[in-house]
Amino acid sequence: MDDPSKKSGFAPRKNVRSVLLVALALVLLAVLPQLAELFDQPAMVSLATRIVILAIAAASLNLALGYCGLVSFGHAAWYGIGGYVVGILYKHYVSGDPLFGLPLGTDQMLITLPVAILVSGLFAAVFGALSLRTSGVQFIMITLAFAQMIFFFFVALKAYGGDDGLIVRRRNILPLIDARDGATFYWVCLFIAIAWFALLRRIVGSRFGAVLAGVRQSERRMAAIGVSTYRYKLAVFVISGMGAGLAGALMANHARFVSPDMLHWTQSGEFMIMVILGGAGTLLGPAAGAAVLILLETQLAAFTEHWQVILGPLLVLMILFTRGGLSGLLKLLRGGSNG
Amino acid sequence: MSLLMEQALNGVQLGVTLFLLAAGLTLIFGIMGVINLAHGSLYMIGAYAMAAVAAGTGSFLLAFPAGLAAAGIAGVLMEYLVVRRLYARDHLDQVLATFGLILFFNQLTTILFGRQPLFVQIPDFLNGSVMIGGIVRYPVYRLAIIAVGLATAIGLYLLIARTRLGMLIRAGATNREMVRALGVDIRLLYTVLFGVGAMLAGLAGVMAGPILSVQVGMGEQVLILTFVVVVIGGVGSVRGAFIGALAVGMVDTMLRAYLPGLLRQLMAGPDADALAAGLSAMGVYMLMAIVLLVKPQGLAPAHG
């Protein structure tokens, strides 16, 4: 992971054009429900909500993968756990059965989201502490294997639906605003996403972020100057898992359904694709990657049921010929050299 | 006693199947530095080619080499077209590109053969069962898998320890650049090695065909178990792959066999079965966690 061509972990220098672009994108995103109504495309809001939620997950993975070089192939686990927290709390809220002997069920989003973040962070801490004993390719395999183990756990969890998953019949509620309305929920997700990206920006620009970049470039060197790298890696892994859990909790609300599919290893793969597609180690890249991948999937799926037979080779070609994901592709199209 | 014996043999049988996959995966990683997620796809290709030829001709003796050949050819093509360009890349690129290959192979197989699993008859001359040591009746076909697996393990050991190709393989695993500098055609060596790994995966798929259902997704299920084997054994080590494969095969089989009975003494039948299924599916990962706690580099690391 000591690729010198990658961008440094520091926040990119502000320039007027990129600030304007981001501002324009934000305005467009904010009025998207109105645009959808204008163009008579009601499905657009739901699609956009999915993209915004997955962007949170991809950006969280990117914090570990892009900034710190921890190639985690198991982030679907934290995402799925976040989703299951919402599902399980809702089930207990509806049935009134106690959870751990306490009346803990709830459908208040202000409670479910923080609990989802905490629980996924807790699991990420336990499994991260084990996984981080290894590095390189073993780390990839181990995160994948542990995620698979958690997947099997939920498949076997018959009390919460097992294979079939859990239906969250009605979306969690928020005080004052009606989160059950599609457009409102989209704005809630967008707001959370913006807050999460702002937090990531702070993290990356901080001293902590500088250490992460150092670990990515040369862990040995960081250790040599007296940094206890294991603690930093664990911290970033946990933060990253919390973000994925947040995304999972939002997705459970959006889809009103959680199932072991959320933890499937292909979901982990998709998160990685989003990160690489948009550009690892860039702040907004994963959001762009999530948008492109989901739109591409939707388009291909409308075109043929066997869309993966097209997406797979596209992915291979992208990795082989455009190293920097989309930005590399743009460079290639402009006739510049890649790499 | 006879149940224990039978389950032990089942464990060995799963173990040698996993070994065939893990040996290829770990060799390819150890020497070329490539992590190949599509290794499971080669297993699937072997199984499907075998099932298709067996259904078409009715002959296991034709289907067996056909499966091996299909996996081998697919492997060489995969190396030539895609993997060759990934040697110099980091693991992340390798994971994603081979992930793309999995999507492609799975969907292509769905298009060609549909979603319904295929079933393959056990050939007549391997059908039936034999008494072993007067204790347990065991299916001949499963014994044949164990025999072929062990023979392949010995063959692989001889290949690596005693032949010129094996010498190059060992040298390549120790210092790739030096082997290249000494004038060895490393590209050819890589392609040959990838083909060998693919055929081992294909062999595992071909042999698993008649006892499992041949279906899309079978490759990934076994791939993730193979990863566990490789991590337990030590990445890049064929000896470790053998130890790890037997350990995983044994733990997985024993948990599946005995855990439901144990749990049923503690709770109601269906609950116990569900919990046991979950716990035994998680068992090998627990084993991996324990091994990692004690020996982060695996049981038999490749270097030192």
Instruction: Give CA–CA dist A240/B130, Å, rounded.
Output: 55
* Most confident stretch, A120-124, B82-86, B105-109, B279-283: A120-124
Contact between chains at A137 and B275 (C-beta distance less than 8 A)? no
Instruction: Give CA–CA dist B227/A201, Å, rounded.
Output: 35
Contact between chains at B296 and A149 (C-beta distance less than 8 A)? no
C-alpha distances out from residue A175 to A88, A156, A179, A184, Å: 21, 35, 9, 13
How close, in Å, is residue A152 to chain B by CA atoms?
A: 6
C-alpha distances out from residue B253 to A336, B14, B206, B250, B282, Å: 56, 8, 21, 5, 12
Average pLDDT over residues B159-173: 84
- Give the nearest partner residue to A319 out of B93, B105, B296, using CB atoms: B93
Q: What digits encode the pLDDT tens for the residues A205-236? A: 999 999 999 988 888 898 898 888 899 999 99
The packing angle between helices B39-57 and B2-32, to 10°, is 120
Per residue in B71-87, is it b (16+ CB within 10 Å) or e — as a string?
bbbbbbebbeebbbbbe
Q: What digits encode the pLDDT tens for the residues A3-57? A: 444 444 444 555 778 788 888 888 888 888 888 888 888 788 889 999 999 999 9
Instruction: Identify the burial level of B137 via C-beta atoms within 10 angstroms of its C-beta, where 0-12 means exposed, 13-18 middle and 19 or more buried.
Output: exposed
Contact between chains at B91 and A148 (C-beta distance less than 8 A)? no
Alpha helix (H) residue ranges in A96-156: 109-131, 136-156
Give the confidence band of A339 by pLDDT, cuts at 50, 70, 90: very low
Q: Is the pTM higher than 0.90?
A: no
Average pLDDT over residues A276-302: 87
Q: How many CB atoms lie under 10 A from the CB of residue A10?
A: 12
Break chain A into its structural domains and give their ranges. 42-264
Instruction: Give CA–CA dist A309/B101, Å, rounded.
Output: 9
Residues in chain B, overall count: 304
- Beta-bridge mates of residue B118: B214
The first and second tokens of residue B82, run together, are 């895609």
Instruction: Give CA–CA dist B45/A53, Å, rounded.
Output: 36
Q: 3-class DSSP state for residue A132?
A: coil
Q: What is the largest CA-CA distance in chain B?
A: 67
pLDDT over 90, % of chain A = 35
Closest among A244, A260, A299 to A155, alpha carbons compared:
A260
Q: What digits encode the pLDDT tens for the residues A122-161? A: 999 999 998 898 888 788 888 988 898 899 888 888 888 8
How close, in Å, is residue B202 to chain A by CA atoms?
A: 22
Contact between chains at B289 and A144 (C-beta distance less than 8 A)? no
Chain A residue numbers touching B29 (CB-CB < 8 A): 137
C-alpha distances out from residue A316 to A328, B8, B9, B198, Å: 14, 42, 41, 19
Q: What is the pLDDT of residue B249?
A: 92
How close, in Å, is residue B91 to chain A by CA atoms?
A: 7
